[in-house]
Amino acid sequence: MTQADVATPKRTRDIIAKYGFSFKKSLGQNFLIDQNILRNIVDAAELDKTKGALEIGPGIGALTQRLSETAGRVTAVEIDQRLIPILQDVFAETDNVHIEHGDVLKLELRELMERQFAGLAGVSVVANLPYYVTTPILMKLLEEKLPLENIVVMIQKEVAERMAAKPGGKEYGSLSVAVQYYCVPELVCVVPHTVFIPQPNVDSAVIKLTLRDKPPVEVANEDHFFRTVQASFAQRRKTIANNLSAFIGKANRDKVVPLLEGCGIDPSRRGETLSIAEFAVISDALQQAGF
Ligand code: SAM
Taking only the tens of pLDDT, the chain with its 291 residues reads: 446 787 788 888 898 899 999 999 999 999 999 999 999 999 999 999 999 999 999 999 999 999 999 999 999 999 999 999 999 999 999 999 999 999 999 999 999 999 999 999 999 999 999 999 999 999 999 999 999 999 999 999 999 999 999 999 999 999 999 999 999 999 999 999 999 999 999 999 999 999 999 999 999 999 999 999 999 999 999 999 999 999 998 888 899 999 999 999 999 999 999 999 999 999 999 999 999
Task: Let me know whether 278 and 146 are in one domain.
Answer: no
Asked casually if ipTM beats, i.e. exceeds, 0.95, the reply is: yes
Is the domain of 115 the same as that of 247? no
DSSP class of 4: P
- Same domain flag for 135 and 17: yes
Of 170, 131, 148, 158, give the one whose Cα is nearest residue 75: 148
Residues 250 and 177 in one domain: no
Note whether 140 and 151 are within 8 A (CB). no
265, 193: one domain: no
Distance 178 CA to ligand 1 centre (A): 24
At residue 204, what are phi and psi to the nearest 5 degrees? Answer: -125, 165
User: Rounded to the nearest whole angstrom, what is the distance from the C-alpha of residue 274 to the centroid of ligand 1?
Assistant: 35
Find the 278 Cα to ligand 1 centroid distance in Å: 37
Residue 3 maps to a domain: no
Considering the domain boundaries, does residue 1 fall inside one? no
Q: Which of 211, 235, 261 is the last residue of a domain?
A: 211
Boundary of a domain, candidates 181, 211, 241: 211
217 within a domain of the structure (yes/no):
no
Whole-model pTM: value is 0.95
Q: Which of 31, 36, 134 to mutate to test the pocket of ligand 1 (most atoms within 8 A of CB)?
A: 31
**Residue 172 covered by a domain:** yes
Residue nearest atom 3 in ligand 1 by C-alpha distance:
31
Which protein residues touch ligand 1 with a CB less than 6 Å away?
A: 27-32, 56-59, 62-63, 77-80, 83, 103-105, 128, 130, 133
Same domain for 155 and 242, yes or no, is: no
127 and 161 housed in the same domain? yes
Question: What is the CATH classification number for the domain harbouring 253?
Answer: 1.10.8.100
Which of 180, 211, 242 finishes a domain? 211
Q: Is 218 annotated as a binding residue?
A: no
In ligand 1, the atom with minimum distance to the C-alpha of 130 is: 10
**Domain tally, the chain:** 2
Which among 73, 72, 76 has a CA at the least distance from the CA of 6?
76
Query: What phi and psi, each to the nearest 5 degrees, are found at residue 42?
Result: -65, -40
Distance CA 242, CA 21 (A): 52
Distance 192 CA to ligand 1 centre (A): 18
In which domain, by residue range, is 234 found?
Answer: 222-288
- Gap between the Cα atoms of 100 and 78, Å rounded: 6
* Coil, strand or helix at 130: coil
Instruction: State the Cα–Cα distance between residues 12 and 133, nearest whole angstrom.
Output: 24
